[in-house]
Amino acid sequence: MYPQQVQHYLRTFFSENNCRFVNDTDHYLTVQLTIDMDKRIMNRPYYWQYVESTGGVPSPAQLTLITDQTKLKENIKGELVHFGSPRLSQLFQVTYEMGSFIQMFEQVVEENNRPILTPWLEVNYKVSYYSNHTKEMLHSLGLNLMNGKIITDFHASLSEVNISPIIPKNAFLLPYIIKPARGLERLDGVIENLIQQDDHSWADQAKKRWERDIRVLEFFYEGVEERPESYEMEKKALQQQYEARIKIEIINGGLFYLK
């Protein structure tokens, strides 16, 4: 997930949750949180208990998030946010908890013709590779529910479109031919295919290191007829450390009607 993708995700997340942008650049942003968002992400329960019990004036926090430190020319203090960082993982979780499915419409105005909007299904996946190292990737896929066309990096393409939860006046929404549930199955297949085509040498390397450390463990217990409990514990710990695992998660998704 590139810095510009992270930036776009942050901008969408906070704008959809009614947080005002104090600064909004291509490499960092400062947002004024709402009361609800402050409570969700700033971990200040005692502050909010005090304000609510005393009837004080609430003061939600401002948050500065830096997505590309190499472009910073000013002396900006804030959190560095990248794919896999605690803050971004937290926002993914908040998105999931608040409801991960949305319906949006491209805002088009046609004076002489009735605008026709085509339904697209978007699903954002997080794919995690686990062994002694962790690798995480974000895939944003879009499926045209009329003709089955699939676009990768769909979330980025939406940044060029003016979208809103409000249906444009006089717009005609094409009824989808491919049902969203069936579309999700297709996109799941695309993700599985992308994983199969990916470079999995990391898993082979992890297996070799696992076998090497097992040989070292066996060497230390060589000649010991009755292995102690610590032997089994160490062996299990090595398995947990090196065993290759792949996890696929759906972060969020939506139905988008586009021209």
The position carrying tokens 């948050």 is 63
Q: pLDDT by residue for the chain (259 residues), tens digit each? A: 578 778 888 888 888 788 999 988 888 999 999 999 999 999 999 999 999 999 889 999 999 999 988 888 788 889 999 877 899 889 888 877 776 678 889 998 777 788 899 999 999 999 999 888 888 888 999 999 999 999 998 988 887 888 888 888 888 999 989 999 899 999 999 999 999 998 888 888 888 888 888 888 888 888 787 888 888 888 888 888 888 889 998 888 889 999 9
Count H helices, E strands: the chain? 8, 11
The position carrying tokens 């020319």 is 73
100 contacts: CB under 8 Å, gap ≥ 6: 250, 251, 252, 253
- Evaluate if pTM is beyond 0.75: no
- Coil/strand/helix, residue 78: coil
Count Cβ atoms within 10 A of the Cβ of residue 29 and give its class: 0-12 exposed, 13-18 middle, 19 or more buried: buried
